[in-house]
Amino acid sequence: MAQAFLFKESASQTAGPYVHIGCTPNFVGISGVYAADSGLRMLSDGTKGERIRIHGRIFDGANDIVKDGLVEIWQADAEGLYNSPNETRGAADPEFVGWGRQPTDLETGHFAFDTIKPGCVPASDGRMQAPHISLWVVARGINLGLSTRLYFADEPDANSADPVLTGIADPARRETLIAVRKGDSYLFDIHLQGALETVFFDV
Amino acid sequence: MSKKGEESLPGFNRRDRQWHPDAFTPAYRSTILRSPKQKLVMLEQTLSETTGPVFGQNALGALDHDLIRNFAKPGESPIGERIIVHGHILDENGKGIPGALMEVWQANAGGRYRHKNDSYLAALDPNFGGCGRVLSDENGYYAFRTIKPGPYPWPNGGNDWRPAHIHFSLFGSGFAQRLITQIYFEGDPHIALCPIVNSINDPKAIDQLTARLDMEHTVPMDIRAYRLDVVLRGPNSTLFENRMEGN
Ligand SMILES: [Fe+3]
């Protein structure tokens, strides 16, 4: 599987317990360097789409809450287009970048993203994927950032046809990627280990 | 279901997971409860992985790349060794990556972080914040100025000290390229002793994270330079052969 390239990718190292200094400095009281922490606000008044909140906590193998983590999300706009030069299908909503970054709260471990529900994006074979959000999780004790996806519980038909979800052999494990809706909020807890261990992908 | 990515980007080369550290490296104790136990599920890359956010120069402030000045009071400077850290950000095929956002964070010269959870005895430096960021130029080169961080002890069950290091985060053009790692400095005896460094199996991979003194870019009577080149996953134009796998 490993092919020979000119160079090897730089090896990963843990983000450590102080990742917030570099990624969300205002959050840890380092003010006056950056005007605002990147990725904190994803929406403007002009952003098209249904407003939703994604929130949750990260749990370790002892079911303790991870309070020094950082979560990033990446998603399409309401029409299913990515705001990226690598997007080949058209221009995404200029009022929506689609990237968010949130620390886990230092006391409670909660993270929350105010965003929009993404539209559908095709897989490489042209089949439609169910609406989803990509997540990337780093923290002390995570040697290489963990990639996962959030799907929406109120999209049962799309979920049951999604090539990534159905590619997960154990149907019970697919449930770890499905966020449950309550009002305008979707709860997405992440379990690093244990009976509820979240599915992580080799992307 | 394997398909050549004809209509869109072919995606990035798969990660070499022998080269990266395992998730579970018990000598680094924090990994014991934070490492997934299930096998990663193979994901055939889609636009969700091949696209990613980009950042423009207007997202950055004028002093963001200068940790010597970006937190210091007017007319004052942080204590410690003044250094430039610079190098090339390239992909596995050797192609420079322009516009890559590098975010860095580090302890001060005494080994102390400006963070409420760091209670190390070494003093905070009132003129050092410890964060900075830079975009690579049109050819993929980056440079920032800082103070050489000090080694520091950490609670890992023994007499463990981190080598001097600068943490950094990198964005390429696709979300699948996201990477966080650390810069070490050549000649530091703590590199060989560190359980976090040694979560990496291959000495060549550790060497690739070790910056070299660079006299050519050292400014006389001012500041020394260290060089580190950084490699992100490159685009893969070959047929993607891995089938979706269960866990
Ligand atoms: Fe550190």
A114 assigned to some structural domain:
yes
Please state, in angstroms and rounded to a whole number, the distance separating the CA atoms of residues A89 and A80: 10
A186 assigned to some structural domain:
yes
Joined together, the tokens standing for residue B75 give 């007319």
Amino acid at A78: A
Is A11's CB within 8 Å of B209's CB? Answer: yes
Residue in B8, B197, B204 closest to A124 by CB: B8
Give tens-digit pLDDT for B137-179: 999 999 999 999 999 999 998 999 999 999 999 999 999 999 9
Does residue B5 have a pLDDT over 80? Answer: no
Work out the average pLDDT over B83-104. Answer: 97
Amino acid at A146: L
- Domain residues for the domain of A172 are 23-28+36-191
Name every chain A residue with its beta carbon within 8 A of the beta carbon of B178.
72, 136, 145
Is B90's CB within 8 Å of A16's CB? Answer: no
Check if A132 contacts B (Cβ < 8 Å): yes
A202 assigned to some structural domain:
no
B172-207 burial, b at 16+ Cβ within 10 Å, e below that, comes to bbbbbbbbbbbbbbeebebbeebbbbbbbeeeebbe
DSSP 8-class letter at A34: S
Is residue B206 within a helix (H) or strand (E), and if so which, with residue range?
Answer: helix B203-207
Name every chain A residue with its beta carbon within 8 A of the beta carbon of B35.
61, 141-143, 192-193
Is A11's CB within 8 Å of B200's CB? Answer: yes
Question: What is the average pLDDT score of chain A?
Answer: 96
Sign of CA dihedral B201, B11, A39, A163: negative
Q: Which residue of A has its CA nearest to B39?
A: A200
Residue in B3, B14, B181 closest to A12 by CB: B181
DSSP conformation letters of A67-89? -S-EEEEE---TTS--SSTT--S
Low-confidence ranges of chain A (pLDDT < 70): 1-4
Report the pLDDT value the prediction gives residue B236, as an integer from 0 to 100.
83
Is A85's CB within 8 Å of B173's CB? Answer: yes
Min Cα separation B160/chain A (Å): 15
Percent of chain B clearing pLDDT 90 (strictly above): 89
A196 assigned to some structural domain:
no
Report the pLDDT value the prediction gives residue B4, as an integer from 0 to 100.
40
Report the pLDDT value the prediction gives residue A124, as an integer from 0 to 100.
85
Q: Which residue of A has its CA nearest to B63?
A: A33
Residue in A11, A19, A192 closest to B34 by CB: A192
A12 assigned to some structural domain:
no
Identify the active-site residue in B65, B145, B162, B233.
Answer: B162
Rounded to the nearest angstrom, the distance between the alpha carbon of B107 and the centre of ligand 1 is: 7
Check if B92 contacts A (Cβ < 8 Å): yes
Work out the average pLDDT over B186-208. Answer: 98
The answer to whether B47 and A122 have CB atoms below 8 angstroms apart is yes
Report the pLDDT value the prediction gives residue B108, as an integer from 0 to 100.
98
Strand A146-152 and strand A178-182: the pairing is parallel
- Please choose, from the candidates A63, A73, A151, A59, the residue with its C-alpha nearest in 3D space to the C-alpha of residue A112: A73
Is B181's CB within 8 Å of A200's CB? Answer: no
Residues B51, B57, B60, B64, Cα dihedral to 10°: 110
Rounded to the nearest angstrom, the distance between the alpha carbon of A88 and the centre of ligand 1 is: 39
Work out the average pLDDT over B174-196. Answer: 98
DSSP conformation letters of B33-97? TTS--SPPEE----HHHH------GGGS-TTTTBTTTSSSPTT---SS-EEEEEEEEEETTS-B-
The answer to whether A105 and A78 have CB atoms below 8 angstroms apart is no
A156 assigned to some structural domain:
yes
Residue B162 is a catalytic residue:
yes
Work out the average pLDDT over B39-43. Answer: 97
Identify the active-site residue in B86, B112, B113, B226.
Answer: B113
* Tally of domains within chain A: 1
- Residue B96 pairs in a beta bridge with B90
The answer to whether B171 and B53 have CB atoms below 8 angstroms apart is yes
Residue B165 is a catalytic residue:
yes
pTM: 0.94
A176 assigned to some structural domain:
yes
A9 assigned to some structural domain:
no
- The CATH number that applies at residue A48 is 2.60.130.10
Is A167's CB within 8 Å of B245's CB? Answer: yes
Percent of chain B clearing pLDDT 70 (strictly above): 91
